[in-house]
């Protein structure tokens, strides 16, 4: 059994949150720069240049990439041969979130009661944490700051089992076009297909952690990702909803087995800031 002190996990989570708050994913930066060079619309090129300039200023001056510093979402894989000494993993992550948001002057955006009081917790806690246990003696943490604008435009549909590929492509197109500039495109689009009501939503969220330039390992789903990306970019929503050929930078699909009577599909939109990190302890 491997023993990991709570302080080690705490420090690594604080480091990860600080990193993603100020530094844009290099793959996303590269994709935005490529889009800037290939865009035909002058307005779209100007918008993309502004996004690149924003990323440069954020990293140099230690200013958050976006004023909405998001809900902290963590997918935690806990090795069966590891023990965290001193506190539970949930307590450690939430303590690290509170410390990071205070020390880095990040906006606290979480309200304790969702419907009535809506009083801000003032430390951006609790984080949303999904746990699963895996073999081994390591802890793997996928960490994201998920902004409200993109999250609000996400959808889940319980489709009929006879639904064809083209209908899913159209569902994504309608979702993106209906959202317009609200989720702050260019987007990363995570899609979950299969499982059940809650599983497909988790798959869509997890799909956002797939590296931007990595296609699906299954050739059929890789082709579907390409079709969706082309369809979305042909929609002319464009950067920040102002028109152009760069509505999305990437589409990623994750799947799971499902009931013969169901075909759940979830679409989770992510803004261009795409703040995420993966740490292994």
Hey, where are the domains in the chain? 2-21+65-146, 148-276
Mean pLDDT of 69-90: 96
Mean pLDDT of 243-270: 98
pLDDT band at 25 (very low <50, low <70, confident <90, very high): very high
| pLDDT (tens digit per residue) in 199-254 | 999 999 999 999 999 999 999 999 999 999 999 999 999 999 999 999 999 999 99
State pTM to two decimals: 0.96
Instruction: Calculate ∠ Cα 130-136-137, nearest 5°.
Output: 85
Quote the pLDDT of residue 52.
98
With bands split at pLDDT 50, 70 and 90, how would you rate the model's confidence at 81?
very high
State mean pLDDT over 85-108.
97
Name the phi and psi angles at 42, rounded to 5.
-65, -40
Of the chain, the percentage scoring pLDDT greater than 70 comes to: 100
Q: What is the mean pLDDT of residues 169-176?
A: 98
pLDDT on residue 16: 98
């Amino acid at each position: 059994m491997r023993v990991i002190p709570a302080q080690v996990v705490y420090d690594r989570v604080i480091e990860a949150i600080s990193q993603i708050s100020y530094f844009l994913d290099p793959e996303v930066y590269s994709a935005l720069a490529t889009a800037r060079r290939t865009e035909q619309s002058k307005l779209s090129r100007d918008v993309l240049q502004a996004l690149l300039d924003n990323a440069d200023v954020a990293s140099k001056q230690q200013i958050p990439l976006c004023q909405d510093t998001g809900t902290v979402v963590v997918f935690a894989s806990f090795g069966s041969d590891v023990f965290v000494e001193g506190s539970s993993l949930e307590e450690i992550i939430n303590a690290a979130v509170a410390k990071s948001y205070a020390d880095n002057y990040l906006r606290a955006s979480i309200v304790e009661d969702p419907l009535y009081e809506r009083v801000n917790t003032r430390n951006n806690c609790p984080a949303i944490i999904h746990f699963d246990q895996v073999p081994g003696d390591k802890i793997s943490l996928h960490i994201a700051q998920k902004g409200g604008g993109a999250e609000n435009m996400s959808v889940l549909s319980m489709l009929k089992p006879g639904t064809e590929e083209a209908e899913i492509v159209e569902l994504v197109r309608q979702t993106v076009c209906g959202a317009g500039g609200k989720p702050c495109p260019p987007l990363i689009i995570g899609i979950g297909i299969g499982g059940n009501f809650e599983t497909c939503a988790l798959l869509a969220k997890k799909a956002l952690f797939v590296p931007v330039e990595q296609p699906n390992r299954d050739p059929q789903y890789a082709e579907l990702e390409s079709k969706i990306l082309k369809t979305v970019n042909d929609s002319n929503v464009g950067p920040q909803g102002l028109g152009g050929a760069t509505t999305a930078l990437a589409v990623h699909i994750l799947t799971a087995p499902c009931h013969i009577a169901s075909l759940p599909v979830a679409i989770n939109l992510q803004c261009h800031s795409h703040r995420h990190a993966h740490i292994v302890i």
